[in-house]
Amino acid sequence: MRTQVGIVGAGPAGLFLSHLLHLRGIDSVVLELRSREHVEKRVRAGVLEQGTVDLLTETGVGDRMAKEGLVHHGIELRFGGRGHRVPLSELAGGRAITIYGQQEVVKDLIAARLADGGRILFEAGAVGLDGIDSDTPAVRYRHRGRDEVLECDLVAGCDGFHGVCRDAVPQGVLTAYEREYPFAWLGILASVPPSTKELIYSHHERGFALHSMRSPTLSRFYLQVDPDESLDRWPAERIWSELQTRLAVADGSWSLAEGPIVEQGITAMRSFVVEPMQYGRLYLAGDAAHIVPATGAKGLNLAVADVRVLADALAGWYGDGDTGPLDAYSERCLRRVWRAQHFSWWMTSMLHRFAGGDPYQHKLQLAELRYAVTSKAAATTLAENYVGLVEV
């Protein structure tokens, strides 16, 4: 098989890139290891920045998001047993966030690609790349029990953190920057109306908790747990009891409604960046190149921002042979990537309980949280990063 841009991975990065390229008349094929059902059901994050929402809308894949997405103009930081609202839109020039599950974005993008005659091969796992330092790169993959080859002009490695593309770059070319956190998140989806209109990020002595949502009848929660925690040790009663404790307010003026848990999972918390995000004819995008801890809700938004830069650069290259934007791809993306790395690390450090429960650090966190909700300058820093910066 042959195409112009060979895309590995049908997550938000790969699918949106394929869509953007189609709009510019550039052909691509997407290879995806898992089944369509699997990628459409995989529950991930759900906060879309204003810029992500605008881009999906402008490119014709925002209809269902406009109907079903929940637009939020603020978030709550809860600490010391009290809630404090950060008025995001007021502080960030009217920009807002939209709550819309990542798998819904994925469903919409798959539907749009297929309606436009796009080629997505599911259950087609890439096993290796050839010739990425030549003008004729190729992706080797396995599909329906057979070894196949996709020949292309360039490869977009959108295959997530555990993919194969990053490893195809020769040793010594990439530098990895990494931080592991001494905790993970246990996430649940519960069939119960949210007990709050806006997201609640709660700092608590027993660990961080987050109350999010997906719809007027579906709530999403996360609890900070040990990094090696197993779901077996978390029956529903324990999860609810811990959420009740960590989200409680001191004066009892708020209560948390419980309901049946319909999905649960544990997510590692990690910060990771490789530089540069390109080598020869291989361009890495999204989680394949960088990971952020979910506290800043940036993962999906960064993936979308990367492929927007890549699609523009490819349009220039195919259009008038301009190699400048493609050469500058990594540098352009990394500015936003590192801003988001810092924001995500900062939110994570401010809100979680660290091993040993160091009392000095606990006091510093409270001082920082108080500053974030009392100083307009500090709150604006949080707000403009959370809704997404326009220029980085």
Residues that bind ligand PHB (CB under 6 A): 45-47, 199, 210, 212, 220, 294-295, 297
Structure tokens at 122: 């599911």
47 interface partner picked from ligand PHB, ligand APR, none, CB below 5 to 8 A per type: ligand PHB
Residue written as tokens 């999204």? 286
CA distances from 171 to 57, 106, 168 (A): 40, 33, 9
Nearer to ligand APR among residue 44 and residue 84 (C-beta): 44
Nearer to ligand PHB among residue 59 and residue 103 (C-beta): 103
Return the range that interacts with ligand APR (CB under 6 A); candidates 153-161, 246-254, 332-340, 384-392.
153-161
212 interface partner picked from ligand PHB, ligand APR, none, CB below 5 to 8 A per type: ligand PHB
Torsional sign, CA 84, 86, 90, 95: negative
Examine residue 45 and tell whether it contacts ligand APR (CB under 6 A). Answer: yes
- Give the residue closest to ligand PHB by C-beta: 212
Q: How many residues bind ligand APR (CB under 6 A)?
A: 27
CB of 41 to ligand APR, least distance (A): 12
CB atoms within 10 A of CB 249: 15
Residues 12 and 100: beta-carbon distance below 8 Å: no
CB of 208 to ligand PHB, least distance (A): 10
CB of 293 to ligand PHB, least distance (A): 9
Nearer to ligand PHB among residue 5 and residue 97 (C-beta): 97
Return the range that interacts with ligand APR (CB under 6 A); candidates 10-18, 75-83, 188-196, 202-210.
10-18
Examine residue 163 and tell whether it contacts ligand APR (CB under 6 A). Answer: yes
Helix (H, G, I), strand (E, B), or coil: what is residue 272? Answer: strand
Contacts by 38-43, CB closer than 8 A, 24 or more apart: 39/10, 39/11, 39/103, 39/106, 39/110, 39/122, 40/103, 40/106, 40/107, 40/110, 41/103, 42/102, 42/103, 42/106, 43/101, 43/102, 43/103, 43/187, 43/189, 43/263, 43/265
Nearer to ligand PHB among residue 208 and residue 234 (C-beta): 208
158 interface partner picked from ligand APR, ligand PHB, none, CB below 5 to 8 A per type: ligand APR
CB of 141 to ligand APR, least distance (A): 7
CA distances from 276 to 1, 165, 166, 195, 289 (A): 29, 13, 11, 44, 9
> How far is Cα 308 from Cα 242, in angstroms, rounded to an integer?
40
> How far is Cα 231 from Cα 74, in angstroms, rounded to an integer?
32
Structure tokens at 210: 């987050």
Examine residue 11 and tell whether it contacts ligand APR (CB under 6 A). Answer: yes
Instruction: State residue 256 phi and psi, 5-degree precision.
Output: -105, 125
Concatenated DSSP letters of 331-378: HHHHHHHHHHHHHHHHHHHHHSPPGGG-HHHHHHHHHHHHHHHH-HHH
Structure tokens at 78: 């809860």
CB atoms within 10 A of CB 297: 26
12 interface partner picked from ligand APR, ligand PHB, none, CB below 5 to 8 A per type: ligand APR
Examine residue 101 and tell whether it contacts ligand APR (CB under 6 A). Answer: no
Binding mask 264-303 for ligand APR (x = CB under 6 A): ----------------------xx-----------xx--x
Nearer to ligand PHB among residue 1 and residue 266 (C-beta): 266
| Ranges within 325-364 binding ligand APR (CB under 6 A) | none
> How far is Cα 64 from Cα 69, in angstroms, rounded to an integer?
8
CB of 49 to ligand PHB, least distance (A): 12
Examine residue 92 and tell whether it contacts ligand APR (CB under 6 A). Answer: no
CB of 208 to ligand APR, least distance (A): 18
**Residues in touch with ligand APR (CB under 6 A):** 8-14, 31-34, 39, 44-45, 102, 125-126, 158-160, 163-164, 286-287, 299-300, 303
